[in-house]
């Protein structure tokens, strides 16, 4: 199977920080873009809209935190609300929610393994998690032949 051609942006929404990553137009390699402060949601949306306009992606992938059992809790509800508002602001660019179980843990372990200190790691772990979310989404599409996750409905 192949992946649709076009750059994508992925977003890892956290309470304090929002990690952003992008991939090349062939959908092969995801790379970190930046960490957006997450406490001020309107400011975060504004910055993300600017990044999305700059990168001109075919879609935005937002990590949806689920428990290991697959259930959605308060964090997932918060991300769904965040993604709906983002989708409204970046339309007609589609926004999709993808399962992101364990990505931050995996990212933190990878950074520690590569010798990044815990203090330095905090500022980049969200970007690393966004990279993992995007790599997983691309792999899912490569295997299934379908866009990953679920589309976010735009309410105008």
- Cβ neighbours for 25, distance < 8 A, ≥ 6 positions apart: 5, 6, 7
pLDDT for 125 equals: 78
What's this model's pTM, rounded to 2 decimal places? 0.88
pLDDT for 103 equals: 63
- State mean pLDDT over 120-137: 83
Is residue 21 within 8 A of residue 7, CB to CB? The reply is no
What is the distance, to the nearest Å, from the Cα of residue 74 to the centroid of all Cα atoms in its chain? 18
pLDDT for 1 equals: 66
Domains of the chain in start order, with CATH, are: 8-145 (3.30.420.140)
Q: What is the pLDDT of residues 81-128, one digit of tens each?
A: 999 999 999 999 999 999 886 566 666 677 677 776 666 666 677 888
Percent of the chain with pLDDT over 90: 67
Instruction: Give the sheet arrangement for strand 30-37, strand by strand.
Output: 30-37, 17-23, 8-13, 59-64, 95-99, 150-151
């Amino acid at each position: 199977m192949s992946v649709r051609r076009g750059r994508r942006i992925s977003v890892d929404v956290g309470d304090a920080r929002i990690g952003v990553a992008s991939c090349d137009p062939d959908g092969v390699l995801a790379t970190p873009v930046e960490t957006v402060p997450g406490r001020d949601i309107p400011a975060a949306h504004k910055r993300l809209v600017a990044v999305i306009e700059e990168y001109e992606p075919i879609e935005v992938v937002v990590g949806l935190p689920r428990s290991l059992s697959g259930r959605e809790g308060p964090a997932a509800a918060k991300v769904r609300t965040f993604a709906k508002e983002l989708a409204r602001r970046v339309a007609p660019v589609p926004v999709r929610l993808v399962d992101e179980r364990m990505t931050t843990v995996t990212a933190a372990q990878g950074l520690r393994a590569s010798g990044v200190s815990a203090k330095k790691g905090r500022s980049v772990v969200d970007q690393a998690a966004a990279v993992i979310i995007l790599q997983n989404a691309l792999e899912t599409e490569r295997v299934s032949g379908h866009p990953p996750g679920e589309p976010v409905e735009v309410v105008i």
